[in-house]
Chains A and B, each alone.
Chain A
Amino acid sequence: MATLPLWPALFVFAALFVAPLMYFFAVSFWTVRARIMRPAFSFQNYLETITGYGDVLVNTLAVAFGIAIVTTFLAFLFAYAIRFKLGRFANLFLLTTLITLFGGYLVKIYAWKSILGTDGVLNKAVLSLGLITEPVSALVYSVNGVVITLTYFLLPFAVLPIYGSLRSIEDATLEAARDLGATSWPVMRDVVLPQCQTGLMTAFTLSFLISVGDYVTPRFVGGGAALMGTFIENQFSFGFNWPLGSAMAFTTMFATLLLVVLVRMVMRRALQP
C-alpha cells in the first residue's frame, strides 16, 4: 500500500525504457531482406559491425575518452576553485554553471559552429588582424571542433557532481593536513582527490557516455568526422537497416561500459590515499 505511489513512475520506466531497449536489442539479431526486417536469430549484424565499423568504433572510443578526460580535468579545476578559492564570488560561479546546464544542446552546437566556422567569428577576427590570409577550416571541419564543442556542452554536467563531492570535505581536515606539514600537492593527492572520487567518476562516466553517443556535433562542427553516432543515425535516417543500426548501438554501448568499468578500477587504485 505504501509503495502504491511508486507504480506510475515504475510503469513509465518499464514500458517506455526497459521494454523499448529489450525490443531494440532483439532487433539487433534480425535480418533484412529486400528492405524488410525479418525476425531471426543471427549474429550477422554484430559481425558486420566489427568488420565494417571496427576502426570507426575504436576511433570513436578514443575521441570520447579524450573528451571525457579533458572535461573531467577542467571540471575539477573549476569545482575546486569554486569550493576553495573564490570566496564570496563562489556562488556567482556556481550559479553560472547551473544556468549553463540549460539553453539547449542544438543551440550550443550552433553557437560553436558560428564561432569556429570558415565564416565564423574566430576566422574573421584572425583574418582582420592579418595573422592569416585564408580562412582556417582545421578548427571546425575536423575532430577539434567536436572536442571543443562537446567539452563545452558537458562541462556544467561534470562540474556539479565534483563540486558536490568537494563540498563534503571539511575545511578543518585540510587545515589539519597543512598544520601537520603537508604541502599543497600531497594535500591534493592524499586528501582532496580520494574524497571526491565519486564525483570524478560520475563526471567522467557521464561525459564519456554522452560523447560516444553523439551524432549532431560531428555533422555540424566535425566536418563529418568518422564517429559511430553518425553511422548509427544513418541506419535510421537513410539506410533503413535498423537491425544493423541496433547491433552497432549495442556494440558501442557494450565497449563503452567495458571501458568505464576499466577506468573506474584504475581510478580507484590510483586514488588510494
Chain B
Amino acid sequence: MTRAGAADTIWIAIAVALALYLVLPIILVMLFSFNQSALTSLPLTGLTFDWYRKLFAQDYFPPALQNSLIVGLAVCLLSVTTGTLAALALARMPPATATRILYLLALPMMLPALVIGIALLSYFVRFLTLRLGLVSVILGQLVIVQPFVLAIVYARLQSFNWAIVDSARDLGASPIRAFFTITLPVIRPTLVGAALIALSLSLDDFVITFFTIGSGNTLPTMVWGMIRTSLDPTINALATLLILASIACAGIALRLSRYRG
C-alpha cells in the first residue's frame, strides 16, 4: 500500500469509529426495548413487546403524551409564524443588517438551557405571577425554537426570486395576497420542514420544560422520573418512541427543506 493509501485508510477508520460512537448508543437503547430480559445487558435474550405494553398501561403515560403533543403543536405553530414573518422581513434587508439581527435572535441558542430555564422560572413565578403549566412551557420553548425556524426559512429565501412577488404587487396584489398566492406555495416545503424541526425540538426539550412546567409531565420529564425511580426496559420503550418520533420528524424535514447547516 502506498503512503497516501495508508493515510486515507486511517481517515476512513477514524470516520467509521466516530460514526459508530454517534449511532451505537441510540441503537442499543432501541434494541433493549424489545429484549426479554429486564437487565440491559448483552447478549439479547429474545424478542418481546412487553415493555411497550407495560409503558402504555402506566396511568401517567397518556397525560404526558397529551401534554407533549399540545406543547409541541403550539410551539410549532407559534414559532413557524413568528420565525417565518421575521425571515420574510430579513430577506429584503441589506445582508449585513439581516445577519446582525439573525445573530441577535439566535442568542438563546448559545446560552445553557439551565440558565434560560431558571431565569424563566423566576420571571414567570415572581415577576409575572403566572401559574406554571403548559402555557409557561410553551412560552419557554418558543424562545429556543424560534431561532431554528428563522434560520431555516431565511436560508431558503436567500435563493428566492423576489421579482415574481414584485410583479404581482405591480399588478395590484396586496402584500398579503402576494404572500399567499406566490411566496407561500414556493416556500411551503421549507415551512413544513421548519415546522417538523420545531416539533422535534419541542418533543425533545427537557431542561426548559423541567423548570417551567410546575407539576405535570411531558414525555421527557416522564423519562427523568423513570430514570430516578426504576431501571427496567420500560424506559427503553419510551426512549425508543421519543427517538423515533424526533428522528422521523427531522428526517422528513431535512428532505423537504434541503437545509444543510
- CB pair A23–B122 under 8 Å, yes or no, is yes
- CB pair B261–A111 under 8 Å, yes or no, is no
- Complex interface: chain A residues within 8 A of B47 (CB): none
A240–chain B nearest beta-carbon distance, Å: 11
- CB pair A242–B108 under 8 Å, yes or no, is no
Binary CB contact string for chain A from 94 to 123 against chain B (1 if under 8 A, 0 otherwise): 111111111111111011111100011100
B3–chain A nearest beta-carbon distance, Å: 10
Binary CB contact string for chain B from 10 to 26 against chain A (1 if under 8 A, 0 otherwise): 01101100110111011
- CB pair B247–A16 under 8 Å, yes or no, is no
- Complex interface: chain B residues within 8 A of A107 (CB): 26, 29, 204, 220, 223, 239, 242-243
- CB pair B90–A6 under 8 Å, yes or no, is yes
- CB pair B22–A242 under 8 Å, yes or no, is no
Nearest chain B residue, comparing its CB with the CB of A242: B122
Asked if B254 is at the interface of the complex by the 8 Å CB criterion, the answer is yes
Q: Which of A40-48, A139-147, A214-222, A261-269 is found at the contact surface with chain B?
A: A214-222
- CB pair A86–B12 under 8 Å, yes or no, is yes
- Complex interface: chain B residues within 8 A of A213 (CB): 111-115
B238–chain A nearest beta-carbon distance, Å: 9
**A110 vs B237: C-alpha distance in the bound complex, in angstroms?**
12
- Complex interface: chain B residues within 8 A of A245 (CB): 118
- Complex interface: chain A residues within 8 A of B18 (CB): 74, 77-78, 155
- CB pair B41–A249 under 8 Å, yes or no, is no
- CB pair B118–A16 under 8 Å, yes or no, is no
Which one, B29, B204, B250, contacts A111 given CB within 8 A?
Answer: B29
- Complex interface: chain A residues within 8 A of B113 (CB): 213
Binary CB contact string for chain B from 73 to 102 against chain A (1 if under 8 A, 0 otherwise): 000000001110110111011000000010
With A103-B26, A104-B243, A156-B22: A233-B127 Cβ-Cβ less than 8 Å:
no
Which one, B107, B112, B127, contacts A214 given CB within 8 A?
Answer: B112
Which one, A24, A80, A236, contacts B123 given CB within 8 A?
Answer: A24
Asked if A131 is at the interface of the complex by the 8 Å CB criterion, the answer is no
Nearest chain A residue, comparing its CB with the CB of B201: A102
Asked if B139 is at the interface of the complex by the 8 Å CB criterion, the answer is yes
Which one, A8, A24, A94, A120, contacts B81 given CB within 8 A?
Answer: A8
B119–chain A nearest beta-carbon distance, Å: 4
**A205 vs B155: C-alpha distance in the bound complex, in angstroms?**
23
A264–chain B nearest beta-carbon distance, Å: 14
- CB pair A16–B22 under 8 Å, yes or no, is no
- CB pair A110–B85 under 8 Å, yes or no, is no
A151–chain B nearest beta-carbon distance, Å: 9
Binary CB contact string for chain A from 1 to 29 against chain B (1 if under 8 A, 0 otherwise): 01111101110110011011101100100
With A106-B220, A111-B28: A13-B15 Cβ-Cβ less than 8 Å:
no
Total number of A residues with any Cβ neighbor in B under 8 Å: 82
- CB pair A6–B123 under 8 Å, yes or no, is no
- CB pair B114–A249 under 8 Å, yes or no, is yes
Nearest chain A residue, comparing its CB with the CB of B81: A8
Which one, A8, A78, A121, contacts B82 given CB within 8 A?
Answer: A8
Asked if B34 is at the interface of the complex by the 8 Å CB criterion, the answer is no
- Complex interface: chain B residues within 8 A of A215 (CB): 114
- Complex interface: chain A residues within 8 A of B127 (CB): 19-20, 23
B260–chain A nearest beta-carbon distance, Å: 8
- CB pair A104–B220 under 8 Å, yes or no, is yes
Which one, B85, B116, B139, B224, contacts A106 given CB within 8 A?
Answer: B224
Nearest chain A residue, comparing its CB with the CB of B113: A213
B60–chain A nearest beta-carbon distance, Å: 16
**A224 vs B228: C-alpha distance in the bound complex, in angstroms?**
13
- CB pair B143–A96 under 8 Å, yes or no, is no
Binary CB contact string for chain B from 22 to 50 against chain A (1 if under 8 A, 0 otherwise): 11011011001000000111100000000
- CB pair B86–A119 under 8 Å, yes or no, is no
**A242 vs B206: C-alpha distance in the bound complex, in angstroms?**
21
- Complex interface: chain A residues within 8 A of B14 (CB): 77-78, 81
Which one, A5, A12, A110, A120, contacts B143 given CB within 8 A?
Answer: A12
B112–chain A nearest beta-carbon distance, Å: 2
- 28 residue pairs of the A-B complex, CB under 8 angstroms, read A2-B89, A2-B93, A5-B85, A10-B86, A10-B105, A12-B143, A12-B146, A16-B120, A20-B116, A23-B122, A93-B15, A94-B260, A98-B250, A104-B204, A104-B206, A106-B223, A110-B227, A125-B42, A152-B25, A160-B261, A209-B110, A209-B111, A213-B111, A213-B115, A214-B114, A216-B207, A236-B118, A246-B118
Q: Could you list which residues of chain B lie within 8 angstroms of chain A, going by C-beta atoms? A: 7-8, 11-12, 14-15, 18-19, 21-23, 25-26, 28-29, 32, 39-42, 81-83, 85-86, 88-90, 92-93, 101, 104-105, 107-108, 110-116, 118-124, 126-127, 139-140, 142-143, 146, 150, 200, 203-204, 206-207, 211, 220, 223-224, 227, 231, 235-236, 239, 242-243, 246-247, 249-251, 254, 260-261
